[in-house]
Amino acid sequence: MAKKHPPREETRRQIAISQKEKAERRRVMMIMGGIALLIALILIGGGVYTYIMTPNQALAEVNGQKITRQDYQKRVLYERYLLDEQASFVQLQLQQLAQSLQDSPELLQSLEGQANQQLQQIASQRFAVDRDALDLLIESKLAEEEAAKRGISVSDAEIQATYQEVAAARQGGYTEASAAETVEAGRNATATAAMFTPTPTLSATEVTAAEPATASQPTPTINVVSGDALSQAIADWEKIMSEQANMTPADLKALIRAQLLREKLYEALGEDIETAVLQAHVRHILLEDIEAAWAAKQRLENGEDFAEVAVDVSTDPSVISNNGDLGWFPRKTMVPEFDDAAFTLPVGEISEPIKTDFGFHIIEILAREDRELDEQGLSREKAGAYNDWLDAAKASGVEDFWTLDDAPPDTNNPFGQ
Contact in structure between 335 and 327 (CB atoms under 8 Å)? no
CA 25/CA 150 separation, integer angstroms: 74
We report the CATH number of the domain holding residue 328 as 3.10.50.40
Question: Which pLDDT belongs to residue 99?
Answer: 87
CA 260/CA 143 separation, integer angstroms: 10
Domain count, the chain: 3
Question: Is 245 a domain residue?
Answer: yes
Q: What is the mean pLDDT of residues 265-280?
A: 93
Element (H, E) at 309: helix 306-313
CA 188/CA 398 separation, integer angstroms: 38
210, pLDDT greater than 50 = no
Question: Is 322 a domain residue?
Answer: yes
Instruction: Identify the residue with better confidence: 48 or 175.
Output: 175
For residue 126, the Cα-to-chain-centroid distance in whole angstroms is 9
CA 15/CA 224 separation, integer angstroms: 93
Question: Which pLDDT belongs to residue 399?
Answer: 94
323 pLDDT band, cuts 50/70/90, is: very high
Q: Which residues contact 251 (CB under 8 A, 6 or more apart)?
A: 74, 241
Q: What is the mean pLDDT of residues 139-157?
A: 97
Give the range of the structural domain holding residue 162, as residue numbers without chain letter: 65-200+224-272+391-401
Do 160 and 34 share a structural domain?
Answer: no
CA 253/CA 167 separation, integer angstroms: 12
| Residue burial 340-369, b: 16+ Cβ < 10 Å; e: rest | ebbbebeeeebbebbeeeebbbbbbbbebe
302 pLDDT band, cuts 50/70/90, is: very high
Do 280 and 254 share a structural domain?
Answer: no
184, pLDDT greater than 80 = no
Do 293 and 163 share a structural domain?
Answer: no
212, pLDDT greater than 50 = no
Question: Is 310 a domain residue?
Answer: yes
- Could you tell me which residues are beta bridge partners of residue 224? 174
Do 250 and 113 share a structural domain?
Answer: yes
CA 347/CA 344 separation, integer angstroms: 9
Q: What is the mean pLDDT of residues 29-55?
A: 59
Q: Which residues contact 9 (CB under 8 A, 6 or more apart)?
A: none
For residue 205, the Cα-to-chain-centroid distance in whole angstroms is 27
Q: Which residues contact 186 (CB under 8 A, 6 or more apart)?
A: none
Contact in structure between 87 and 414 (CB atoms under 8 Å)? yes
Contact in structure between 364 and 282 (CB atoms under 8 Å)? yes
Question: Which pLDDT belongs to residue 166?
Answer: 95
CA 408/CA 239 separation, integer angstroms: 20
- DSSP collapsed to 3 states, 364-388: EEEEEEEEECCHHHHHHHHHHHHHH
pLDDT in tens, 220-255: 678 999 999 999 999 999 999 999 999 999 999 999
Do 76 and 35 share a structural domain?
Answer: no
Do 156 and 85 share a structural domain?
Answer: yes
Do 33 and 79 share a structural domain?
Answer: no
pLDDT in tens, 105-134: 888 888 888 889 999 999 999 999 999 999
Highest mean pLDDT among 1-5, 151-155, 320-324, 328-332: 151-155
Question: Is 95 a domain residue?
Answer: yes
Do 147 and 72 share a structural domain?
Answer: yes
- pLDDT, averaged across the chain: 85
Question: Is 216 a domain residue?
Answer: no
Q: What is the mean pLDDT of residues 395-399?
A: 91
Q: What is the mean pLDDT of residues 12-21?
A: 60
pLDDT in tens, 72-83: 999 999 999 999
207, pLDDT greater than 60 = no
Residue type, 401: F
Element (H, E) at 90: helix 69-100
Do 244 and 96 share a structural domain?
Answer: yes
Do 249 and 354 share a structural domain?
Answer: no
Question: Is 348 a domain residue?
Answer: yes
Question: Is 301 a domain residue?
Answer: yes
Do 99 and 46 share a structural domain?
Answer: no
Do 284 and 264 share a structural domain?
Answer: no
Question: Is 140 a domain residue?
Answer: yes
